[in-house]
């Protein structure tokens, strides 16, 4: 029996129930989005007592399936005002799954605003305790105290920014060495956690029974196929691109393609790109004694993460991945990796989403609060968030809020969420995903960059405005399913190109659940998830007018290709049309 | 004879002429040369190249190179076999 843990923050009770039949086959995003849609009124205030925060490991999480230690976090987002799912790879996801916990639902709110609790979970159940001195700390100090007091205990926590309910706050989980570094970053879910008065969930998995696998043989067959695909594909295999260079290998690619957003989305090329690229990160890590090929949780074949070392060889931060390095680097005109590493450290410590932080800092630079490229000024500005100064509270609420505070029009957001590291004017399909995903601007929701730039899963010209709705829709559907399995999105490179890998992925799910899903069933499930999310958003007041680019992208041309965003509204709306059609 | 500016990235950087900075250098090519001729000239096996960009646009091996073109060459950073979209195995 899989369990549902209900935590009521109003009366501080914890109940462990059997997972209702309706949710039996669900995991990850499927489960968080369905629970949020079922239990949260669409018009609820994201920071009020009627929002609910849901945590759910994926379907195969906690098993021997490779690269599958993901946890989804869902709620109504204070950043977008719509439904949100963000996920992270972390050992704590595996612990929860092995304890038989399918989901944790946090409801209600303490009466006093500044009351914080920790939820302690073990194999026998859970209880809420006052957070005492664990609240108010930066997350590195928090992690150190947790380890000192409870030993190697997994955690899911919110940082000072989340305690202060800032819409840029993410939910932080530990990595394999208990660093506070693995984030379900996007959409301000850390602020929802803060508003619930929940500082952290501490997970002791001693004596956990493990994940129940309905059909071991099928599971093994699928696991083998998927592992083979991951070991074969040049992007995912050991010694392949992600393993040796990390995701920041993309910096040079996007820069070459003219799609690396630079200085607040005013150019698609950054002259300092090679200084912050994956190649440079790997080489410097080697020289200084950092690490590449690090894994966010045990059992990953790909191992894309890294540990950055200071000049003297001491550990600085994990990890320098593409989105963070772009956001706090190229997008702010900063080309020094040590400065970028420090900005990432501040995000990890304060509990901030690195993408939203970088997009916001660049908007602040546009507003004249610092010069583009001034790393020390960026560090000073970013520190304001955790301090909760008036300026810190403006920045801490994200790019859209900051842009409004300073009267700017060049504010690269969709549904209030900052755009990630691909310029829609140079990569038109990813723009369709940004505009139409129920999550707001989110590259992971339907990664058309694969066919448009990387020649994975087919080929498409990134600059052509036509045909992008279908590519985006198919990928959004596939991703919604993948986000429910517990697998890391990066297995997509292998399963897009190697059909047996895709089959293996579905078979491992069938093996765990005892289902007989086909590839078409996976597509149907993905479609159903997106429909659930879209209808929540509709009830929250979203219309097709919200599936539109920030207007400046329609009239400001972007060098070097000097293009505007010219995907017609009718093409964009085809995504919504497909997803609202009855099947 | 057109001269093109070449940038080699990641694992194909090893084919750059010795002493060039960050895999970037210029090459003079016979009139009408294609991208694949450039690979041959540099000794890059075609299977090690996944994706090239000419002036920031994706380019196939048969593209003819012109004076002043900027060429970026990538290994599979990016890519493997040809395939179908996910969900349609
Ligand atoms: S590929 Fe990277 S992010 Fe994904 S599970 Fe492995 S280490 Fe974590």
What counts of helices (H) and strands (E) characterise chain A? 24, 17
Nearest residue of A to residue B47, measured between CA atoms = A234
For A464, list phi and psi in degrees, rounded to 5.
-80, 130
Say how many C-beta atoms besides its own lie within 10 A of residue A7's C-beta: 26
Chain B: closest CA distance from residue A137 (Å): 40
Give how far Cα B4 sits from Cα of A146, A254, A465, B25, B66, Å. 58, 20, 29, 9, 7
Q: Which tens digits make up the pLDDT trace of A63-108?
A: 999 999 999 999 999 999 999 999 999 999 999 999 999 999 999 9
CA distance A11 to A110: 8
Question: Structure tokens of A171?
Answer: 């939910």
Tell me what pLDDT residue B79 has: 36
Instruction: Please report how the helices A354-366 and A375-387 are oriented relative to each other, as an axis angle in degrees rounded to 10.
Output: 120
A interface mutation test: which of B6, B53, B63, B86 has the most A CBs within 10 A? Answer: B86
B interface mutation test: which of A232, A233, A234 has the most B CBs within 10 A? Answer: A234
Percent of chain A beyond pLDDT 90? 97
A516-545 residues touching B, CB cutoff 8 A: 519-520, 522-523, 526
Tell me, what DSSP letter sits at residue A452? I
CA distance A132 to A98: 29
Overall average pLDDT of the A303-327 stretch: 97
Q: Which tens digits make up the pLDDT trace of A498-511?
A: 999 999 999 999 99
Q: How far is the CA of A465 from the centre of ligand 1 (A)?
A: 32
Question: B85, A502: Cβ pair inside 8 Å?
Answer: no
Overall average pLDDT of the A15-38 stretch: 98
Whether the ipTM is more than 0.90: the answer is no
CA distance A54 to A150: 24
* Neighbouring residues of B62: CB distance < 8 A, sequence distance ≥ 6: B34, B35, B36
Tell me what pLDDT residue B47 has: 84
Evaluate whether A54 touches A106 at the Cβ level (below 8 Å).
yes
Cα dihedral A106, A523, A98, A200 sign = negative
For residue A389, the number of C-alpha atoms closer than 13 Å in the C-beta half-sphere is 9
Query: Strands (DSSP E) along A252-304, which ranges?
Result: 291-294
Confidence of residue A409 (pLDDT cuts 50, 70, 90): very high
Nearest residue of A to residue B8, measured between CA atoms = A252
Tell me what pLDDT residue B44 has: 94
Q: Which tens digits make up the pLDDT trace of A216-267?
A: 999 999 999 999 999 999 899 999 889 999 999 999 999 999 999 999 999 9
CA distance A152 to A210: 19
Q: Which tens digits make up the pLDDT trace of A183-206?
A: 999 999 999 999 999 999 999 999
Q: Is the peptide bond before A361 cis (omega within 30 degrees of 0)?
A: no
A473 pocket-lining for ligand 1 (C-beta < 6 Å): no
Q: Three-class SS of residue A140? A: helix
For A255, list phi and psi in degrees, rounded to 5.
-65, -45
Tell me, what DSSP letter sits at residue B22? T
Q: Does A507 touch chain B (CB under 8 A)?
A: no
CA distance B9 to B71: 11
Q: How far is the CA of A236 from the centre of ligand 1 (A)?
A: 10
Question: Structure tokens of B82?
Answer: 């040809």
Tell me what pLDDT residue B11 has: 82
Tell me what pLDDT residue A211 has: 98
* Neighbouring residues of A100: CB distance < 8 A, sequence distance ≥ 6: A1, A2, A3, A208, A209, A211, A212
pLDDT by residue for chain B (89 residues), tens only, comes to 899 999 999 888 899 999 888 889 999 999 999 999 999 999 999 888 878 999 999 999 999 999 999 999 998 764 333 333 333 32
A307 pocket-lining for ligand 1 (C-beta < 6 Å): no
Question: A496, B58: Cβ pair inside 8 Å?
Answer: no
Q: Which of B68, B63, B43 is nearest to B51 (CA)?
A: B63
Question: B50, A234: Cβ pair inside 8 Å?
Answer: yes
* A31 torsion bin: left (phi>0), alpha (psi -120 to 50), beta (else): alpha
Evaluate whether A297 touches A91 at the Cβ level (below 8 Å).
yes
Evaluate whether A61 touches A69 at the Cβ level (below 8 Å).
yes
Q: Which tens digits make up the pLDDT trace of A445-495?
A: 999 999 999 888 889 999 999 999 999 999 999 999 999 999 999 999 999
Tell me what pLDDT residue A581 has: 62
Overall average pLDDT of the A419-437 stretch: 98
Nearest Cβ partner of B78 from A279, A454, A495?
Answer: A454
Confidence of residue A172 (pLDDT cuts 50, 70, 90): very high
Evaluate whether A176 touches A93 at the Cβ level (below 8 Å).
no
Tell me what pLDDT residue A359 has: 98
């Amino acid at each position: 029996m899989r369990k549902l843990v209900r935590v009521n923050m109003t009366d501080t009770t914890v109940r462990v129930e059997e997972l209702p039949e309706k949710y039996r086959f669900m995991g990850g995003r499927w489960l968080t989005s369905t629970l949020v849609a079922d239990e949260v009124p669409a018009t609820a205030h994201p920071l009020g007592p009627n929002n609910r925060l849901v945590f759910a490991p994926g379907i195969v999480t906690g098993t021997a399936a490779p690269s599958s230690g993901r946890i989804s976090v869902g709620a109504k987002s204070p950043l977008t005002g719509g439904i949100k799912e963000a996920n992270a790879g972390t050992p704590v996801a595996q612990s929860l799954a092995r304890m038989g916990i399918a989901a944790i639902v946090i409801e209600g709110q303490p009466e006093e605003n500044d009351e914080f609790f920790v939820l302690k979970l073990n194999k026998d159940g859970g209880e809420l305790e006052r957070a005492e001195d664990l609240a108010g700390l930066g997350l590195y100090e928090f992690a150190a105290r947790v380890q000192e007091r409870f030993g190697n205990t997994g955690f899911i926590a919110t940082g000072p920014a989340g305690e202060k309910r800032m819409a840029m706050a993410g939910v932080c989980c530990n990595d394999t060495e208990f660093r506070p570094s693995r984030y379900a970053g996007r959409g301000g879910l850390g602020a929802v956690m803060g508003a619930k008065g929940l500082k952290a969930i501490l997970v002791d998995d001693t004596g956990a029974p493990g994940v129940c696998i309905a059909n071991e043989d099928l599971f093994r067959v699928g696991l083998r196929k998927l592992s083979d695909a991951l070991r074969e594909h040049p992007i995912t295999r050991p010694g392949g691109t992600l393993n040796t260079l990390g995701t920041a290998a993309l910096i040079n690619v996007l820069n070459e393609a003219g799609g690396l957003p630079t200085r607040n989305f005013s150019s698609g090329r950054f002259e300092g790109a090679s200084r912050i690229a994956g190649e440079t990160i790997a080489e410097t890590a080697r020289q200084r004694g950092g690490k590449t090929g690090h894994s966010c949780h045990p059992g990953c074949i790909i191992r894309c993460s890294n540990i950055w070392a200071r000049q003297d060889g001491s550990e600085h931060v994990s990890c320098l991945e593409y989105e963070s390095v772009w956001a706090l680097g190229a997008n702010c005109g900063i080309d020094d990796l040590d400065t970028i590493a420090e900005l990432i450290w501040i995000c990890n410590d304060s509990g901030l989403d690195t993408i939203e932080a970088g997009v916001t800092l660049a908007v602040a630079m546009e507003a004249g609060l610092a010069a583009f490229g001034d790393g020390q000024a960026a560090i000073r500005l970013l520190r304001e968030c955790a301090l909760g100064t008036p300026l810190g509270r403006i920045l801490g609420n994200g790019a859209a809020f900051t842009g409004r505070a300073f009267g700017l029009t060049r504010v690269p957001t969709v549904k209030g969420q900052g755009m990630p590291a691909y310029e829609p004017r140079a990569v038109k399909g990813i723009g369709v995903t940004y505009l139409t995903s129920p999550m707001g601007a989110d590259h992971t929701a339907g990664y058309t960059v694969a066919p448009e730039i990387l020649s994975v899963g087919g080929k498409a010209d990134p600059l052509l405005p036509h045909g992008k709705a279908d590519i985006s829709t198919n990928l959004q559907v596939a991703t919604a399913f993948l986000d429910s399995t517990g697998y890391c999105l990066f297995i997509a490179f292998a399963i897009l190109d190697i059909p047996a890998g895709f089959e293996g992925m579905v078979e491992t799910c069938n093996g765990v659940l005892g289902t007989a899903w086909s590839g078409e069933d996976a597509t149907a499930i993905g479609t159903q998830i997106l429909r659930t999310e879209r209808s929540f958003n509709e009830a929250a007041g979203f219309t097709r007018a919200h599936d539109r680019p920030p207007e400046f992208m329609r009239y400001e041309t972007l060098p070097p290709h000097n293009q505007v965003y010219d995907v017609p509204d009718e093409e964009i709306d085809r995504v919504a049309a497909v997803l609202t059609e009855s099947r | 004879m057109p001269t093109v500016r070449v940038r080699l990235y990641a694992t194909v950087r090893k084919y750059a002429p010795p002493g060039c900075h960050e895999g970037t250098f210029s090459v003079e090519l016979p009139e009408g040369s294609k991208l694949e001729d450039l690979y041959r000239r540099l000794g890059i096996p075609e299977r090690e190249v996944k994706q090239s960009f000419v002036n920031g646009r994706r380019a196939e091996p048969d593209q003819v190179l012109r004076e002043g073109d900027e060429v970026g060459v990538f290994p599979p950073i990016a890519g493997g076999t040809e395939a179908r979209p996910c969900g349609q195995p």
